[in-house]
Amino acid sequence: MEKKLAIIIPVYNEEGVIRKVVQEALNRCDTVVCVDDGSTDGSVAQIEKTRAYLVKHPINLGQGAALQTGIEFARLLPVDYFCTYDADGQHSIDDVESMYDVLRKGSYDIILGSRFLGKTISMPASKKVLLKMAVRFSNLTSGLKLTDTHNGLRLFNRKVAEEMQIKVPDMAHASEILEIIAARKYKYIEHPVTITYTDYSRAKGQSMVNALNIIFDTILRKFSK
Amino acid sequence: MRIVVQLSSVLLALYLFTTILRGRKSHTGRAIKKIGFFLLIIAIVITVFFPWIVDEIAYFVGVSSGVNLFVYLLGAGFVIFVLNNYMHQQDQRDIQARLARRIAIIEATERYKGMRHDK
């Protein structure tokens, strides 16, 4: 199926899984952009074995910065839609297909994946509690009403991609994207998705303590705007 | 009356705090920080040579003594200093990210020149 879609995958030390993830994405979508965020393992070599585009940060900047780089590079390509996709293999490419159909046929600017409308496989209870708290906090700070505020799977149109300017380089970018959606009044919708937690993704996932950094940065950003 | 003055002081401190953070890149914001710095030096001198003046100001704003007021001001100044430095660091990270991104995109664009459709 020919899609005018670019799947953007920020990559940092994902040597073990990245080739499989990229290959799965390429099987369904012609344009995959991997942004290597200064990996020190063999991630770059693994990506180079596929036909995905590879954009390499000279230094490690963080996932938010890598996403912005991927979006800016993908804007140069002949695509109309953009998808952000995690590199650790927790997303399902089937969800991208269904979200793409909704975005293409509907009148929305952006579609956000929600694991709480869909399903989660092997999700740790502590993670669930933390994410539920994050939902309350992010809804409060952004003014949106969402069921899952920290899901890496999002699809949006070119208008959003052209205007998107993620400034937060690290994991707090998810909250910033929501603030951008609210500020620019984009038409958004949530879509049920499946998130599969593996031993690998659990090990790679952000630590609970990082939630404090995100909360602090989000509040400070509100004050300093 | 005392609680009104105390609340006003706290609100004024919060206002100054947000004004300094928001205007940290503007000339006005930077000037406010320098004025604050000079006022602090003057306050130190007054506290040493004319402590009764600071005591009077302290009683007026509802603080028990001039020394206590001075400690509060130093505490507030320290918080503003730390947060301002943190925000400055964030701004520098943003500049660094933009530079690195520019390099990455130029390099990638060169590599994929003419390959966009048949890759």
Phi then psi dihedrals of residue A50, to 5 deg: -105, 180
Token pair 């003014």: residue: A143
Instruction: Say whether A58 and B86 touch across the interface (CB within 8 A).
Output: no
Residue B118 has pLDDT above 50, yes or no: no
Q: Which residue of A has its CA nearest to B20?
A: A224
Residue B88 has pLDDT above 90, yes or no: no
pLDDT (0 to 100) of residue A148? 92
Strands A81-84 and A31-36 turn out to be unpaired
Please give the mean pLDDT across all residues of chain B. 84
**Can you tell me the distance from the alpha carbon of B101 to that of B92, in angstroms, rounded to the nearest whole number?**
14
Residues in A whose CB is inside 8 Å of some CB of B read 35, 51, 53-59, 61-62, 65, 68-69, 72-73, 76-78, 167, 169, 217, 220, 223-225
The list of chain A residues with pLDDT below 50 reads none
pLDDT (0 to 100) of residue A2? 64
pLDDT (0 to 100) of residue B117? 47
The total number of residues written for chain A in this structure: 225
The closest of A166, A215, A156, A205 to A12, measured between CA atoms, is A205
pLDDT (0 to 100) of residue B119? 44
pLDDT (0 to 100) of residue A211? 78
pLDDT (0 to 100) of residue A205? 66
| 3-state DSSP percent of chain A in helix, strand and coil, to 5 | 45, 20, 35
Instruction: Say whether A55 and B108 touch across the interface (CB within 8 A).
Output: yes
Instruction: Say whether B105 and A69 touch across the interface (CB within 8 A).
Output: yes
**Can you tell me the distance from the alpha carbon of A26 to that of A175, in angstroms, rounded to the nearest whole number?**
29
The total number of residues written for chain B in this structure: 119
Structure tokens at A91: 């997303």
Please report residues of B whose CB lies closer than 8 A to that of A35: 104
Q: Which residues 10-39 of chain B have a CB within 8 Å of chain A?
A: 17-18, 21-22, 24
Three-state DSSP state, A69: helix
**Can you tell me the distance from the alpha carbon of A99 to that of A106, in angstroms, rounded to the nearest whole number?**
10
Please report residues of A whose CB lies closer than 8 A to that of B86: 220
**Can you tell me the distance from the alpha carbon of A17 to that of A75, in angstroms, rounded to the nearest whole number?**
26
ipTM of the complex: 0.85
Residue B56 has pLDDT above 60, yes or no: yes
**DSSP conformation letters of chain B:** -HHHHHHHHHHHHHHHHHHHHHTTTSHHHHHHHHHHHHHHHHHHHHHHH-HHHHHHHHHHTT-S-HHHHHHHHHHHHHHHHHHHHHHHHHHHHHHHHHHHHHHHHHHHHHHTTT-TTT-
pLDDT (0 to 100) of residue A36? 97
pLDDT (0 to 100) of residue B116? 53
Whether residue A66 contacts residue A72, with contact meaning beta carbons closer than 8 Å, is answered with: no
**Chains A & B: contacts with CB separation below 8 Å:** 67
Structure tokens at B100: 């690195």
- Chain A CB within 8 Å of residue B105 CB: yes
pLDDT (0 to 100) of residue A15? 93
Residue B62 has pLDDT above 90, yes or no: no
Please report residues of B whose CB lies closer than 8 A to that of A216: none
Q: How confident is the model at residue B66 (pLDDT cuts 50, 70, 90)?
A: confident
- Chain A CB within 8 Å of residue B79 CB: no
| Mutation target vs A (from B101, B103, B106, B109; most A CBs, 10 A cutoff) | B101
